[in-house]
């Protein structure tokens, strides 16, 4: 999902290969030319035009600011003299220029692109066909397997039930989740949808996507199994933490 996490080149599970053996810990610092502000209870606690992004092996990038640009408790940034870091949860609103940023700082090396396709996609959950479409939008996102977002008209919505599970993506927005009820039982949070996506997620608005990496879900693309690597969502252990 970036240079230093997931399947990125310095992440936990690199997707590609390097022509050298990297050290166990890699740090990379890059200037971030955008004005970054943070607010707590409508009070500006960060306002900086001298932000840097700090990458560290196994972690998402973090903002670091000159200490004088911060008006809240902060920790010294060990990788940049005179700079400090502010925990994301210390502010209730973050902005880059006038654009709100959610979940974590944007990563310039992370990209998402949703492409229209005519591939034939089928989804079986618990052995039952719940979706079939030849008009998916395929979402290609750095560090993640291709995701197949299907029109709601091509999904057995009578088998779906919305549940109180919610996650946030810095690039796509907030996702709501759906259980699937089959003759073999209920499969929790098997699918999700973005009803009010951010700009980059607009092409997948209101479409339904299923976790192809879950063992009880079988997704095929043109008759072949969809890519199904290990991801943080390969099992259901994340679901309770995503409940409000």
Rounded to two decimals, the pTM is 0.91
- Structure confidence by residue, pLDDT tens digits, 200-211: 999 999 999 999
- Structure confidence by residue, pLDDT tens digits, 150-185: 999 999 999 999 999 999 999 999 999 999 999 889
Two tokens at 116? 């229209």
Put residue 15 in one of left, alpha, beta given phi > 0 → left and psi -120 to 50 → alpha: alpha
Cα(169)–Cα(172) distance, integer angstroms: 5
Q: Domain residue spans in the chain? A: 1-110, 112-242
Q: What is the mean pLDDT of residues 222-233?
A: 89
Put residue 185 in one of left, alpha, beta given phi > 0 → left and psi -120 to 50 → alpha: left
112-242: CATH topology is: 2.170.150
| Residue in 96, 117, 62 with CA at minimum distance from that of residue 199 | 96
- Structure confidence by residue, pLDDT tens digits, 63-103: 999 999 999 999 999 999 999 999 999 999 999 999 999 99
């Amino acid at each position: 999902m970036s240079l230093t996490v997931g399947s990125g080149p310095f992440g936990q599970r690199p997707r590609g290969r390097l022509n050298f053996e990297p050290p166990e810990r890699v740090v990379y610092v890059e200037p971030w030319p955008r004005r970054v502000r943070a607010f707590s209870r409508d009070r500006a606690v960060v306002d900086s035009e001298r932000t840097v992004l700090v990458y560290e092996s196994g972690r998402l990038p973090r903002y670091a600011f000159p200490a004088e640009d911060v008006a809240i408790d902060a920790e010294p940034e060990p990788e940049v003299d005179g700079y400090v870091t502010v925990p994301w949860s210390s502010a209730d609103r973050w902005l880059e220029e006038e654009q709100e940023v959610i979940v974590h700082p944007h990563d310039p090396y992370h990209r998402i692109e949703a492409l229209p396709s005519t591939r034939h996609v089928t989804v079986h959950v618990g052995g039952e066909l719940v979706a079939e479409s030849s008009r998916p939008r395929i979402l290609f996102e750095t560090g993640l397997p291709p995701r197949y977002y299907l029109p709601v008209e091509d999904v057995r919505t009578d088998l779906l039930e919305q549940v109180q599970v919610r996650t946030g993506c810095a690039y796509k927005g907030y996702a709501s989740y759906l259980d699937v009820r089959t003759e073999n039982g209920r499969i929790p949070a098997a699918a999700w949808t973005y009803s009010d996506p951010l700009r980059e997620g607009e092409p997948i608005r209101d479409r339904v996507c299923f976790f192809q990496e879950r063992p009880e879900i079988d997704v095929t693309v043109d008759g072949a199994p969809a890519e199904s690597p290990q991801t943080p969502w390969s099992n259901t252990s994340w679901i309770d933490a995503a409940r409000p």
